[in-house]
Structure 1
Amino acid sequence: MTDTDISASKTMTEDEAAEFAEQVFDVARQGNAVMLERLLEKGLPADLRNHKGDTLLMLASYHCHADAVRVLLNHKADPEIRNDNGQSPIAGAAFKGDLAVVRLLVEAGADIDGASADGRTALMMAAMFNRNEIVDYLISQGADPHATDAKGITALGAAQAMGATVTIEQLSKMGVQPARS
């Protein structure tokens, strides 16, 4: 086999490259921190995005894989990159209720009050689904419980809309109003 043959045999077709990329995103979705570490050490970009704009960090965060999130952050994955729907990793982790992942993202510099295109913050996502520990943590880290989404609704209003009774009580005790008057 000549050098030309070797080079040619190492080149992936577009279909093979697409299949490989999908496998890489599955590694993040499944939280395989060891494999992510190996791929990143080989030069995989930490902020690689799929066809929906999801980064590896977004997928690992949304699927509640703290070890994979830690590996990606150690390789300088940007916690502020949003997907094509404007969703951030911290909002995904708050929605899913994973406090450990939320903490990792905050420690890595995620914007506590960063909002999606509709103006919803991680605090609002946590409030909507009775993620009380996350609500407490985000507020303790400076999240604004009085912030409003694009419709003028606060975290309390979002919790009320979803019937998140524990969060409603929690935020009401803080003096939060359901909407900006």
Structure 2
Amino acid sequence: MAQEAFFEAIRQGDLETISSLGEKNPDLYRSRDGRGSTPLILAAYYNKEAVVDHLLKTGVPVDEKDGAGNSALMGCCFKGYEGIARKLIKAGADVNTINSLGSSCLIYAVTFNQTEVAKLLLNHGADIHIRDARGHSALDHAKMQGFNHFLPMLTPTP
């Protein structure tokens, strides 16, 4: 019951309820919802910056993954939430983590045409050579989608 209320408060960005429930039961900060999402993954996915800030202050692990192998950073990369991505990277998120399909944060940012997020990832060491389970790199995804503005930043230099 408390866990359902906790996760609903995260979806709604209700920091007061999150704090209150978390004080009463600190284990909620390390719990998972029915899909395997952690509080941080959910807050990042729903673009709840204040909740992300609060969760990071409580010391939640930044790189845990949901049932599909996606981290909080991966969620913001395909959604384009640059501010949250920046906070997660500053908190130590792995920019080169991959999910169960072999996709990386950079592959997601490029596939969903999130240019500023892709630049942020590249500036923090994202590996352009990672290939997903189908063998495609971020550059391949840019070409397939016709997102030519990515080509200069993703083409390896000799």
Question: Normalized against structure 1, the TM-score is what?
Answer: 0.79
Is 1:107 paired with 2:90?
yes
Is 1:169 paired with 2:138?
no
How much identity, in percent, do the aligned residues show?
31
2:139–2:154 contact (8 Å) kept in structure 1? no
Residue 58 of structure 2 corresponds to 75
Letter of the 2:117 partner, please give it. I
Question: Normalized against structure 2, the TM-score is what?
Answer: 0.90
Q: Output one character per residue of 1:26-50: Cα deviation in whole Å (capped at 9) or x when no partner.
A: 1111222232223223333222101
Give the secondary-structure state (helix, strand or coil) at the position aligned to 1:149. coil
Residue 67 of structure 2 corresponds to 84
The one of 28, 48, 54 equivalent to 2:37 is: 54
Q: What is the number of residues matched between the two proteins?
A: 155
Letter of the 2:153 partner, please give it. M
Letter of the 2:17 partner, please give it. M
TM-fit CA distance, 1:96: 0.9
Q: How is 1:139-150 mapped onto 2 (pairs within 5 angstroms)? A: 139-150=122-133
Gap regions ≥5 residues in structure 1: 1-16
When the two chains are superposed, the root-mean-square deviation of aligned CA atoms in Å is 1.6
Once residues 130 and 110 of structure 1 are traced to their aligned partners in structure 2, the CA distance between those partners, rounded to angstroms, is 21
Letter of the 1:153 partner, please give it. H
Once residues 133 and 97 of structure 1 are traced to their aligned partners in structure 2, the CA distance between those partners, rounded to angstroms, is 8
Is 1:95 paired with 2:78?
yes
